[in-house]
């Protein structure tokens, strides 16, 4: 690509692209191409002028070389551009603002005063209609203040004042709309709801394939804990589907043959064969935006308080206006007060503070579904950890396989992987990965797989019942037995590992010893959580007392519970909340779902079961637990910012009212300062809460 250098300084260069026209998409391709380079710290491309400003470290030659190699047709560069970049949103706002300013001054310069007055009356009808609609509902809202100010100005034949007020209100609406959309767009750009691979149903057996290979009409298999990847029609099977992300329904919906299922919903219980109906229209960006818009209904108490307070203050603004007029007999002074309301700033700045916190969390690998959950995290005094996949690594591994009844080790691992691969859980993933590492490919031999929550998996292999899972499930629920003469071998199983039991035909066939190493950062994170005000850190696990006690001592939790069932975790959290505590629950499996639902804020691990992530209020990256510290700090920062915004908004707008009542500022100036302060506070609320290196 040819370009010329317009300006250069240490660590910064501005270049002009040598082409007559640059589209917005081309600008995005170049911008994201430059940002992908390790030596580029920041890049901005301006499509209107064809310029690019690049901040870099190291040699300028590397930047020049990268520009020389760039091509708009480079598929790798095109792939770097996300679905939405925000450039079109910014352009839309710029065009609207330029149009509004141009029309305003064109009318003032070209139209006679009588026509200007008529246009002002016409435009005022919209504000009057909104005010009447509000009054008809028995509510005194900001629209009443705006309409009163405009109507009084027109009655007094003060067309310039009315036009200025409407212009400032219009610009304020544009700024508020852009600010909110920009916040949502930035949040959506850092979140992901994708499904990478799906089970393709074939006569020869189910095959795990990338979702990109799926075509309309293909049949897929979805089971307990799995997400529906695409809009589809049920071909066979029955299942309870959690559609909360789509419809907000709290209870699962029963689906059977002929039912329609939607992308992004989750199989809570059962299994289905579904035929794909739609490939397009399921873009994750649009789904995320819908989720964010839905999450805005999940307001924190602070947001709700701001909204309620804003409405309650409207009558006082009207009262102040009337009182000012009665005392001064000056309509301009009274109108100046009408131009100031607390509603705009309170109702805009508070949600944006929350969205900014959600966006920053998203950039750190944390997905939050609503402001109320961030508030819960900020106020929490208790945090409950599931052990496996949370305090321990999300990728445990098979350390040893002990076979019984003369079974072959490879065949037992092959069978275990065949059963476990259908259900997303860290232990199941460990079995599948070990089989893959040993090159043990397989064709499925079992019948329909049944998942028993918190216990194990049951199926039929070559006419015999096969079960895999916990000791309680295999030996107590299924009444399986240890082969004769091998009791001592069973008693001598290595105690340092977790055990996964596999039985075929009612007899123990193998025990898979799972090495479940602790996360290196777990102890430090728990220590810092204590410093951040979490008084009670609890670990709950289905493992034995010996394993639980060892892990609890190693990571420094305040209390631990062992051999617990899903309902035990949920009951503990419920009891704690009834005592007045605020509780966070962290888990990754289907069995953690009841507890995640019961907690004030349920947190799921990103590599866990889809149903856990669906039910959870927050999802964190599986890479490490440090993001929990960021989550707590961002949440606390959000609450402090909301409190600070309260004081700033109330104080500044009260001062504007006093200045207007004193005749120091005009109604137009009052509207300008009010709208400007609203946008400034909103933009300030978009700032990050944590330093970049946190």
Query: CATH for 3-81, among 3.30.450.20, 3.30.413.10, 3.30.70.100, 3.30.70.2170?
Result: 3.30.70.100
pLDDT at 691 over 90: no
Cα(297)–Cα(291) distance, rounded to whole angstroms?
10
Q: What is the mean pLDDT of residues 470-487?
A: 90
Contact of 303 with 354, CB cutoff 8 Å? yes
Q: What is the mean pLDDT of residues 519-536?
A: 93
| CATH topology for the 370-392+520-620 domain | Rossmann fold (3.40.50)
Give which of 411, 310, 379 is closest to 645, Cα–Cα: 310
Give which of 403, 421, 405, 420 is closest to 512, Cα–Cα: 403
Query: CATH for 197-285, among 2.70.150.10, 3.30.530.20, 3.90.1150.150, 3.40.718.10?
Result: 2.70.150.10
Residue 185 confidence class, pLDDT cut points 50, 70, 90: low
User: Burial level of 684, CB count in 10 A (0-12/13-18/19+)?
Assistant: middle
The Cα angle at residue 344 between residues 342 and 348, in degrees rounded to 5: 120
Cα(52)–Cα(32) distance, rounded to whole angstroms?
12
pLDDT at 313 over 90: no
With pLDDT > 70 as the criterion, what percentage of the chain qualifies? Answer: 84
What CA dihedral angle connects 491, 493, 494 and 495, to 10 degrees?
-50
Q: How far is CA 244 from the centre of its chain?
A: 15
Give which of 231, 255, 258, 233 is closest to 242, Cα–Cα: 255
Q: What is the mean pLDDT of residues 581-591?
A: 86
Lowest mean pLDDT among 237-251, 423-437, 515-529, 635-649: 237-251
Contact of 628 with 529, CB cutoff 8 Å? yes
Bigger pLDDT: 626 or 451?
626
Cα(604)–Cα(108) distance, rounded to whole angstroms?
59
Residue 193's pLDDT is 46
User: Burial level of 326, CB count in 10 A (0-12/13-18/19+)?
Assistant: exposed
Cα(207)–Cα(220) distance, rounded to whole angstroms?
9
Contact of 417 with 434, CB cutoff 8 Å? yes
Residue 358's pLDDT is 82
Give which of 192, 224, 251, 253 is closest to 589, Cα–Cα: 224
Residue 582's pLDDT is 93
Q: What is the mean pLDDT of residues 281-309?
A: 54
**Most distant CA atoms of the chain, gap in Å:** 107
Lowest mean pLDDT among 120-129, 495-504, 525-534: 495-504
What CA dihedral angle connects 305, 306, 308 and 314, to 10 degrees?
150
Q: What is the mean pLDDT of residues 444-465?
A: 72
Summary count for the chain: helices (H), strands (E) = 24, 24
| CATH topology for the 397-515 domain | Calcium-transporting ATPase, cytoplasmic domain N (3.40.1110)
Cα(88)–Cα(463) distance, rounded to whole angstroms?
60
pLDDT at 173 over 90: no
Give all strands (DSSP E) within 219-344, no chain letters.
Answer: 219-223, 232-242, 253-255, 260-261, 266-276
- Average pLDDT of the chain is 82
Residue 54's pLDDT is 94
Domain ranges of the chain: 3-81, 91-188+298-352+636-685, 197-285, 370-392+520-620, 397-515
Lowest mean pLDDT among 53-67, 118-132, 278-292, 581-595: 278-292
Q: How does 616-642 read in b/e, with b if 16+ C-beta sit within 10 Å? A: bbbbbbbeebbbbbbbbbbbbbbbebb
């Amino acid at each position: 690509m040819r370009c010329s250098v317009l300006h250069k300084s240490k660590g910064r260069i501005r270049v002009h692209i040598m082409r007559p026209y640059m589209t917005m998409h081309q600008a995005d391709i170049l911008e994201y191409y430059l940002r992908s380079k390790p030596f580029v710290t920041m890049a901005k491309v301006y499509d209107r002028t064809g310029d690019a400003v690049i901040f870099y470290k190291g040699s300028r030659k590397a930047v020049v070389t990268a520009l020389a190699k760039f091509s708009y047709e480079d598929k790798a560069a095109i792939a770097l551009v996300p679905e939405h970049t925000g450039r079109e949103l910014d352009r839309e706002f710029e065009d609207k603002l330029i149009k509004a300013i141009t029309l305003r001054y064109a009318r003032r310069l070209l139209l006679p005063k009588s026509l200007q007055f008529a246009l002002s009356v016409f435009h005022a009808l919209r504000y009057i209609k909104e005010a009447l609609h509000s009054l008809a509902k028995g509510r005194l809202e900001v629209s009443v203040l705006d309409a009163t100010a405009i109507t009084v100005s027109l009655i007094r034949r003060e067309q310039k004042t009315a036009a200025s007020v409407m212009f400032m209100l219009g610009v304020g609406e544009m700024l508020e709309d852009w600010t909110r959309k920009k916040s949502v767009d930035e949040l959506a750009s850092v979140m992901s709801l994708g499904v990478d691979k799906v089970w393709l149903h074939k006569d020869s057996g189910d095959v795990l394939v990338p979702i990109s290979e799926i075509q309309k009409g293909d049949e897929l298999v979805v089971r307990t804990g799995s997400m529906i990847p695409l809009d589809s029609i049920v071909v066979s099977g029955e299942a309870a589907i959690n559609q909360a992300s789509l419809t907000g329904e709290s209870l699962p919906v029963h689906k059977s043959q002929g039912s329609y299922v939607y992308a992004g919903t989750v199989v809570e219980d059962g299994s289905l064969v579904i035929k794909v109906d739609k490939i397009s229209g399921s873009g994750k960006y649009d789904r995320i935006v819908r989720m964010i818009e839905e999450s805005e209904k999940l307001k924190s108490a602070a947001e709700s308080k701001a909204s309620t307070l804003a409405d309650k203050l409207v009558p006082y603004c009207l009262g102040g206006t009337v009182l000012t007029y009665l005392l001064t007999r000056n309509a301009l002074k009274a109108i100046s007060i009408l131009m100031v309301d607390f509603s705009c700033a309170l109702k805009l700045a508070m949600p944006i503070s929350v969205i900014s916190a959600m966006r920053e969390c998203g950039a750190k690998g944390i997905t939050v579904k609503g402001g109320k959950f961030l508030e819960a995290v900020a106020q929490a005094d208790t945090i409950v950890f599931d052990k496996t996949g949370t305090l321990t690594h999300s990728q445990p591994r098979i350390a040893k396989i002990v076979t019984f009844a003369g079974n072959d080790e490879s065949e037992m691992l092959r069978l275990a992987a065949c059963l476990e691969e259908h259900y997303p859980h860290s232990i199941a993933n460990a079995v599948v990965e070990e089989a893959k590492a040993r090159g043990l490919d397989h064709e499925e031999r079992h019948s329909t797989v049944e998942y028993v929550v918190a216990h194990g998996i049951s199926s039929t292999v070559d006419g015999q019942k096969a079960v895999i899972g916990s000791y309680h499930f295999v030996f107590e629920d299924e009444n399986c037995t240890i082969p004769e003469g091998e009791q001592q071998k069973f008693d001598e199983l290595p105690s340092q590992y977790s055990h996964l039991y596999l039985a075929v035909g009612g007899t123990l066939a193998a025990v898979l010893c799972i090495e479940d190493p602790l996360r290196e950062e777990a102890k430090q994170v728990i220590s810092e959580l204590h410093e951040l005000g979490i008084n009670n850190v609890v670990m709950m696990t289905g493992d034995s007392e010996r394993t639980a006690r060892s892990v609890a001592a190693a990571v420094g939790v305040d209390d631990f519970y062992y051999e617990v069932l899903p309902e035990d975790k949920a009951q503990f959290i419920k009891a704690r909340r009834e005592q007045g505590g605020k509780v966070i629950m962290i888990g990754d499996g289907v069995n953690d779902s009841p507890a995640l639902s019961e907690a004030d804020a349920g947190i799921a691990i990103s590599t866990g079961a889809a149903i856990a992530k669906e039910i959870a209020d927050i999802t964190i990256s599986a890479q490490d637990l440090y993001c929990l510290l960021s989550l707590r700090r961002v949440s606390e920062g959000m609450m402090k910012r909301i409190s600070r915004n309260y004081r700033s908004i109330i104080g500044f707008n009260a001062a504007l009212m006093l200045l207007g009542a004193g005749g120091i500022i005009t109604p137009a100036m009052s509207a300008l300062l009010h709208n400007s302060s609203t946008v400034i506070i909103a933009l300030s609320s978009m700032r990050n809460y944590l330093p970049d290196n946190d």
